[in-house]
Chain A
Amino acid sequence: MRVEIVNLKRYFGRVKAVDDISFSFDTGHVFGFVGPNGSGKTTTMRILATLDEPTEGDAFLDGVSIREYPELARRRLGFVPDSLPDHADITVHEYLDFYARAYGLKGMVRRRAVEGVEEFTNVTGIRWKLIKDLSKGMKQRVSVGRALVHDPDVLIMDEPAAGLDPRARIELRELLGALGERNKAILISSHILTELTEICNGAVIIEQGHVLRTGTVDELMNSHEAEGEGATRVRVRSLGPGDELRRALLEIPGVLEARPMGNGVVEMETERGEEVSVAILQALVAKGCPVVEFLPLRPDLEEIFMQITKGEVS
């Protein structure tokens, strides 16, 4: 399954919420959708989930337009909103059962599907609890279960980790890992970029309705490095005091800056190139520094995001 978003535009009067967005991702990919508040993430996701219509452009699931054939898209898409809408007087099981019915599952198939997602999302123990009585984390699990009940190929998740406590976040990450193994194409938006780096294979960064950068995580990092100012960050730890290590590092050619981080750890910025790193390490060893760790640091998604976005809203 290939999901393609082609020249998508969504205007609300004069406000260009989404302005000519194009990117694609495939089955088995967990794709991060990153952007500041008001950048058009939710609007794009709502359009993909067929809850809204684009002003122009389209999205395709294996070549089938979601604009022209949304009913087909709905069968193959699952949407997890940032928060589960309030549903009074309905239990978790009934809620999942309703959506299974709504997607046309019948009889035993439906029962198995509901029990399957309850087990997968670990809500079996709370299946007879009312949804309104659940914690935010549990509601998010139910929401994921709802999106999975018809076994879609594509999962669209809008800020699923928003408002979750650390434990619930870790559980959600595990759930996403398990989903990735099920060969789903997942588009996930989140503000917690460190988590996205761990989960995602690729990412799209948008701002003011425009795509700033897209690609796999490696591609993004490489392109960031290629566009960088010529500095590579390296973390060095020695058995000696951090200040001594810092002084030693600053004497070595190629080291631009060094900052002690405590416990004998120093983070330095060096000129770019692996040869420079090798030369610095050799020089350190030659100086007799008891180096325990020498780790070139790659920029993470957060760093890339902060560097290329300006925090402006369309």
Chain B
Amino acid sequence: MKKKLLSWWADIRAGDLNPVMVRELRQYTRSRFTSYILVLMLAGLLLISAGFFSTSRGSVGVSGVELSAGSGAAMYGFVAVALALASMLLALYTTLRLGNEHRKDKPDLLFSTSLAPGTIVRGKLFAGLAMFGLLLSLALPFMTMTYLLRGIDVRSILWGLLWLLVLNVLLLSGAILLGCMPLGPLFRRGGIGLSAMLFWFLFMRAGSLVGTGYLLGVGGISMLAFDKTVTVIVLSVLVTAFLLPYAMSVLSLSPRWSNRARPFRLTLTALSALWAGLIVIGGFVHGSIPMGPLMACLVPATLIFLGMLQIGECVANRPSTRVLKTVPRSWLGRVLCFPFYAGGANSLVWCVSLLAGLYGAAYYAMEPASRWSSRGAAPGLVVAVYAICYILTASLLSGRFPKSIREGAGAPWLVSLYFFAASGMIPLFVETLYENHKIKWHPKIELGSVFAMFHGQPDLWRPHLGVAVPWLVLVLGLNLPRVLAAFALFRRPEEPAGVSETEVKEGAEAVQS
């Protein structure tokens, strides 16, 4: 460890930093696009400050103090918006550049070097953060002015900046993911648009939470008064929102000969275990956790898992001989490792296990005292069964389309996501039958609607379970043969193929020296 740290420090001193970061920064600083963003942002900030100062001067008088007091906070909001917009443009530039490098019709020379996918993704991320630092340095004098105008304290300014930084990290990791995925121009542009909307939503949401002092105790409210639950949930969502795109970017860039599924699935499994642990602990500490907030977290989690499963489907390929050499010889080891190896069936097993675990933890935490006797948590169980049914069905459907992500296939994603969006019709149909054939339309026609339907009608769980369980049995049965077939092929090769790992390492060292 010490040796590693010393070597890392020596590399930094010698200027041997992440190659991708160095190149990106060189290109960013020379790019006209960056100059335009900086000039536009500066012009915008100057206009904003000029506007606010002229307003303040004009309002000197009886109510001058009040107007001035409000100006600082308002101007801070405008400066933050300008900074967020500039960050968005920069992230867009990152996506386009990376997508351009990664185009199928171009020689991907970046991927002909010995750079690891993680190094490439981190390099892009660090370079983006450095550019955010540059934008921030431009905005800081104006943020100081907001303090001079009054109406906002230093702590609020700093917390606001922290939020902007966090959102920028998320934005960059999402932008890098979009750039890394071998999508066609249409898919990429669509993805950019959606990400921009999502970022804007998050930015405004965080802004409103920060502004009202609900989150992280900003805006004059004591740090001790902020809602711990909300902050913990938001922070865990943010960590996930950063780690997932990062892991998915690495997965997208990883070559087929590596077990590219493993780092990503391990990351998400660890995060889910953490969530499940927190849920169970919360259940014990509080006696029970209300179903509302839990399902509000778990339903989006299901959507995320579905997306992950689709990526698993699209990069589905049988592990190479080299990867299979790492499969444990024991039967138990094989079973435990199976979900963490590349392959469509492996991905499905991983996804379903994870979801079952999460919903199981939630079910446990809802009624920890009398979880087996009470029917209070039954709606949660129905949601869990539906969720697993959706995933198994989506997997079956998307399996009918070309899978190779390398060949730019987008159909499996679309099919399963459309199915997922429309599949709320199934529980809706159940409900319609239950309510004497009276069709009742819900604004949300996805999994969330199942949960929404239980509000005020707890008895609905019976007919839903009557549909969900046979559905589960059916899709389990349909998926089982391919899972078993994949497992039968998933074994360590008896004969070593090619040269041994040691020989390769020696060879690599010889080449290095």
Interface residues of A (CB under 8 A from B): 12, 46, 49-51, 53, 63-65, 67-72, 74-77, 79, 81, 85-90, 94, 98-99, 101-104, 106-107, 110, 146
- Report the minimum CB–CB distance from B493 to chain A (whole Å): 11
A-B contact pairs, 24 of them (CB 8 A): A50-B255, A51-B111, A63-B498, A64-B499, A68-B498, A69-B257, A70-B257, A72-B511, A74-B112, A74-B113, A74-B114, A75-B114, A75-B508, A85-B101, A88-B27, A89-B30, A90-B27, A98-B22, A98-B23, A101-B22, A102-B19, A102-B20, A102-B113, A103-B114
B112 in complex: contacting residue of A49, A53, A63, CB < 8 Å:
A49
How large, as a class, is the contact surface on chain B?
35 or more
Complex Cα distance, B409 from A12, in Å, reads 13
- Report the minimum CB–CB distance from A106 to chain B (whole Å): 5
Q: Which residues of B contact A64 (CB under 8 A)?
A: 498-499, 504, 507
Q: Mark B106-143, 1 if CB is under 8 A from A, else 0.
A: 11111111110000000000000000000000000000
Q: Mark B319-353, 1 if CB is under 8 A from A, else 0.
A: 01110000000000000000000000000000000
The list of the 8 closest CB pairs from A to B, nearest first, reads A101-B19, A102-B113, A81-B107, A89-B30, A98-B23, A65-B498, A89-B27, A75-B511
- Report the minimum CB–CB distance from B165 to chain A (whole Å): 26
Q: Which residues of A contact B20 (CB under 8 A)?
A: 102
- Report the minimum CB–CB distance from A21 to chain B (whole Å): 20
A104 in complex: contacting residue of B22, B106, B114, CB < 8 Å:
B114
Best-surrounded residue of B30, B109, B110, B507 (most CB of chain A within 10 A): B109
**Interface check B459, CB cutoff 8 A:** no
**Interface check B512, CB cutoff 8 A:** yes
**Interface check B31, CB cutoff 8 A:** yes
User: Is A85's CB under 8 angstroms from B19's CB?
Assistant: no
Q: Which residues of B contact A71 (CB under 8 A)?
A: 114, 508
Q: Which residues of A contact B31 (CB under 8 A)?
A: 88-89
User: Is B499's CB under 8 angstroms from A107's CB?
Assistant: no
Best-surrounded residue of A12, A64, A104 (most CB of chain B within 10 A): A104
Q: Which residues of B contact A106 (CB under 8 A)?
A: 11, 14, 16
User: Is A76's CB under 8 angstroms from B511's CB?
Assistant: yes
- Report the minimum CB–CB distance from B170 to chain A (whole Å): 26
CB-CB nearest in chain B for A90: B27
Q: Which residues of B contact A51 (CB under 8 A)?
A: 107-108, 111-112
User: Is A68's CB under 8 angstroms from B497's CB?
Assistant: yes
Interface positions, chain B 473-513, Cβ under 8 Å from A, are: 497-499, 504, 507-508, 511-512
Q: With A89-B27, A98-B22, A101-B16 in contact, do A146 and B109 touch (Cβ < 8 Å)?
A: yes
Q: Which residues of A contact B22 (CB under 8 A)?
A: 98, 101
A72 in complex: contacting residue of B27, B321, B497, B504, CB < 8 Å:
B504
Complex Cα distance, B507 from A76, in Å, reads 10
Complex Cα distance, B497 from A103, in Å, reads 26
Complex Cα distance, B504 from A71, in Å, reads 10
A102 in complex: contacting residue of B108, B115, B257, B511, CB < 8 Å:
B115
CB-CB nearest in chain B for A102: B113
**Interface check B26, CB cutoff 8 A:** yes
CB-CB nearest in chain A for B503: A64
CB-CB nearest in chain B for A63: B499
Interface positions, chain B 28-58, Cβ under 8 Å from A, are: 28, 30-31
Complex Cα distance, B407 from A50, in Å, reads 16
Complex Cα distance, B499 from A94, in Å, reads 36
Complex Cα distance, B469 from A271, in Å, reads 87
Q: Which residues of A contact B111 (CB under 8 A)?
A: 51
Complex Cα distance, B14 from A61, in Å, reads 33
- Report the minimum CB–CB distance from A66 to chain B (whole Å): 10
**Interface check B262, CB cutoff 8 A:** no
Q: Which residues of A contact B150 (CB under 8 A)?
A: none
User: Is B109's CB under 8 angstroms from A85's CB?
Assistant: yes
**Interface check B188, CB cutoff 8 A:** no
CB-CB nearest in chain A for B499: A64
**Interface check B189, CB cutoff 8 A:** no
Q: Which residues of A contact B27 (CB under 8 A)?
A: 87-90
CB-CB nearest in chain B for A45: B107
CB-CB nearest in chain B for A58: B498
Complex Cα distance, B113 from A146, in Å, reads 11
Q: Which residues of A contact B112 (CB under 8 A)?
A: 49-51, 74, 77, 79
